[in-house]
Amino acid sequence: MTHQMGPLEGELRLVKPNHCRRVVVLGAPRVGKTAILRRFLADGFEQHYVPTTEDFYSKLYHIRGEAYQIDLLDASKERDFPAKRRLSILTGDIFLLVFSVDDRESFNEVHSLRDEIVVAKSKLTKPKENREFPIIICGNKADLGSERTVSRSEICKCLGRDSTLFEVSAKDTTNLEGLFEALVELGGLPTETCPSLHRDISIRSYQALRSRIRSKREIRALALDGPCGAVHPLARRPSFNSDLRRVMGPTTPKRSRPIDKCQIQ
């Protein structure tokens, strides 16, 4: 049976590849990763801890007549699956490593994760290529004050002063704007993808806006003038094969003759 592409799938195909970015979020449990992602998606703050059920989010944007897309992958469930976590790392364009300032073990984990990202991504670069990887380290729960167990001076000493570091509070939004600005800047995306610089609309309104080329008058009639964004309600984690293709690039052409079998040592 031929797969019929739904309207939302069609919208995703309208986004140019160089307008898409995947943010991979890593860190220990209960450090506030989901709370930070919800703030980025303009979805408020959940006062009580709720274990993560969704691990993939996608937001679509209409900015100056162009479509953009940011995918957010919370790969924290893969802590016990090194190979799967490594694949998630290889598919990432930007990395957000989150720890809690009142949890020393979560800080130690971020330190190890940063090294793992550098090693994994370095295998995809040319030997002589001096490439900096877009990693942001985020110390959450800065509102706790005296309850913190990791000082800023210690963080800078362990991670280096060249690290992109933010101390934030997902609860009271301290420094979140700066964190989100850094994310989109490292991703080479328009500044209007920051939550405070665009209007949030429904996915139906987004589809109406992007369904065809519209005049400025039609856009104003839809009350959608200016930068806007919509959370994709049916976003699902890409398949294992899709992630492999993302890492390996286009498949090589089929050989005209079968190759000899080889033994795996």
Model pLDDT for residues 45-91, shown as the tens digit of each residue: 565 555 555 689 999 999 988 999 999 999 888 888 888 889 999 99
pLDDT for the residue 99: 95
pLDDT for the residue 154: 84
Q: Residue holding tokens 């839809």?
A: 222
How far, CA to CA in Å, does 180 sit from each of 16, 72, 137? 22, 13, 12
Nearest residue to 139 via CA among 120, 153, 127, 128: 153
Q: Is the pTM of this model over 0.85?
A: no
pLDDT for the residue 47: 58
User: Would you mind telling me the total number of residues written for the chain in this entry?
Assistant: 265
* C-beta separation of 105 from 79 below 8 A: no
pLDDT for the residue 222: 60
Indicate the class that CATH gives domain 8-236. alpha beta
226-247 mean pLDDT: 87
Name 107's Cβ contacts closer than 8 Å, sequence gap at least 6.
99, 100, 101, 139, 150, 155, 158
97-101, 151-155, 210-214: least confident range? 210-214
pLDDT for the residue 126: 62
d(CA 230, CA 195): 11
List pLDDT tens digits, range 186-228.
Answer: 999 999 999 999 999 989 888 887 776 566 666 665 656 789 9
pLDDT for the residue 123: 81
Evaluate if residue 158 carries a pLDDT over 90.
no
Token pair, residue 239, equals 């398949």
pLDDT for the residue 2: 40
How far, CA to CA in Å, does 165 sit from each of 37, 98, 116, 178? 17, 10, 18, 10
Edge to edge, the sheet with strand 94-100 lists 164-167, 135-140, 94-100, 20-27, 66-74, 56-63, 228-231, 199-200
- Please tell me whether residue 106 adopts helix, strand or coil conformation: helix
For residue 93, what pLDDT band results from cuts at 50, 70 and 90? very high
pLDDT for the residue 216: 64
pLDDT for the residue 42: 82
Domain boundaries, the chain: 8-236
Token pair, residue 139, equals 């110390």
Q: Give alpha helix (H) positions in the chain.
A: 7-13, 33-40, 82-91, 104-122, 152-159, 176-186, 203-210, 216-221, 240-248
100-109, 117-126, 192-201, 216-225: least confident range? 216-225
d(CA 45, CA 262): 55
pLDDT for the residue 256: 47
